[in-house]
A and B are shown apart, each in its own frame.
Chain A
């Protein structure tokens, strides 16, 4: 076990070293001749308009929130799956209760439309949000 960990660490070092070598090689070989037109941010050949760092749609945040909760749930499922054969039906009931409570959460986001990407526009407030995304 400990021995295998060392192998993984050696592997990490070898991998990173290889990467550094290729990057250095590329540094040596590549031409360096920048000019302003070459360096402009790509916007289909037009002059870029404004920065891209704008506030974007809140849907991405909601998605990430729901993901964190379910990810934690899956992490609880990992050890459960390993010991399941040892504990049997008892562990099954336990997990049913756990998942049952969390499924209320899934039902909640589902009903609320939080995992719906395209929503009907209820009013001007939603239109404001849409503008933020563009």
Chain B
């Protein structure tokens, strides 16, 4: 018993450590790539190729003074970054990174847990992100923060419905919410081949959910300074920052799990395939950021409600009709 608990804690620590390491280095990768896209070199001073940049950033943020504006609502101002960060980290708990591995004579799935409502769990966690943003915006008692927070939360809720609808096609085909079973269902053919429209819808809706370009209105710095985190400094700012990149990694991993066949792949071991595919998704997101301009707010709302939502519904109905007419698999 005690041995299994130790194995569990080690497993969780390893996954958490790798995840946070990924998040830290993602910032470096993004800056480097964006630099090259814009014909600059990106960070290069700290360490070879600027590889120590994330560590330098961390040391700097940890040792900075933490300011709370006197007019802010103090309790909520402190709570908001944690409300943003904790669900962002918790979402990875159900993502399967690979098949099974033998540790100390016990067959163990690679990943933290496999609960039978895994997909909905990720959903529930992502729907908690709204609170961090709305409360940060409100509690700062700053006009930019409030406007930024409101706009972001309205954006998040507008795209959440489409996000839910876009993954339902996958659920229809797999007939389960367990992410491990969804991956298993994609053994020969990944769902992207059967759900190409669903995949695109998922990419668009999730970019909006994690506020990436072209939907990065929460931090439209030309009009809102820094949006909801204008007043935040030091580690509290870092928590929002980490939450943002953690969400990016989660969304990429979810795209791989739901549409790109997860850890399935020939020759290489499962976790390597998973990492490669996730890296490709991350590259795509950064590439998009380096290429596209930002939407205007009214365009964003119109796109979400009048394009994404009806198309997602239509995609779902067409998928359902095909599954029903082909008699299903069960």
Contacts and interface: CB of A to CB of B under 8 A. Distances in A.
A8 B150 contact: no
Nearest to B151: A60
Contact of B112 (A7, A48, A56, A66): A7
Contacts of B141: 41, 51-53
Residue from A5, A34, A91 whose CB has the most chain B CB atoms within 10 Å: A34
A70 B225 CA distance: 32
Interface in B114-133: 114-116, 120
A40 B69 CA distance: 6
B142 A43 contact: yes
B165 A10 contact: no
Given A26-B234, A31-B65, A84-B172, A10 B114 contact: no
B154 A64 contact: yes
Interface string A64-98: 10110011011001100111111011011001100
A86 B176 CA distance: 12
B312 to A, nearest CB: 10
B113 A4 contact: yes
B197 interface: no
Contacts of A110: 305-306
A74 B161 contact: yes
Contacts of B330: 85-86
Chain A interface size, as a band, is 35 or more
B140 interface: yes
B301 interface: yes
Nearest to B127: A71
A39 interface: yes
Contacts of B209: none
B107 interface: no
Contact of A8 (B16, B115, B154): B115
A1 B115 contact: yes
A14 B113 CA distance: 14
A52 B146 contact: yes
A86 B328 CA distance: 8
Nearest to A61: B154
B124 to A, nearest CB: 11
Interface in A2-48: 4-5, 7-8, 10-12, 14-16, 18-19, 22-23, 25-26, 29-34, 38-44, 48
Given A19-B85, A19-B86, A8 B328 contact: no
A4 B115 contact: yes
Contacts of A52: 140-143, 145-146
A86 B113 CA distance: 27
Contacts of A4: 113-115
Nearest to B150: A60
Interface in A96-118: 96, 99, 103, 106, 110, 115-118
Given A53-B141, A64-B154, A41 B168 contact: no
Give the interface size class of chain B.
35 or more
A85 B323 contact: yes
Contacts of B70: 39
B90 interface: yes
A95 B310 CA distance: 15
Contacts of A116: 298, 301-302
Contacts of A115: 301-302, 305-306
B13 interface: yes
A122 to B, nearest CB: 17
A63 interface: yes
30 contacts: A4-B114, A8-B113, A8-B115, A10-B8, A14-B12, A14-B13, A14-B16, A22-B235, A26-B235, A33-B65, A34-B65, A38-B67, A41-B69, A41-B71, A41-B140, A41-B231, A42-B144, A42-B230, A52-B142, A56-B146, A70-B161, A77-B316, A78-B120, A84-B328, A85-B175, A88-B328, A96-B317, A99-B317, A115-B306, A117-B298
Interface of A: 1, 4-5, 7-8, 10-12, 14-16, 18-19, 22-23, 25-26, 29-34, 38-44, 48, 51-53, 56, 60, 63-64, 66-67, 70-71, 73-74, 77-78, 81-86, 88-89, 91-92, 95-96, 99, 103, 106, 110, 115-118
The 3 closest A-B pairs by CB, nearest first: A85-B328, A117-B298, A4-B113
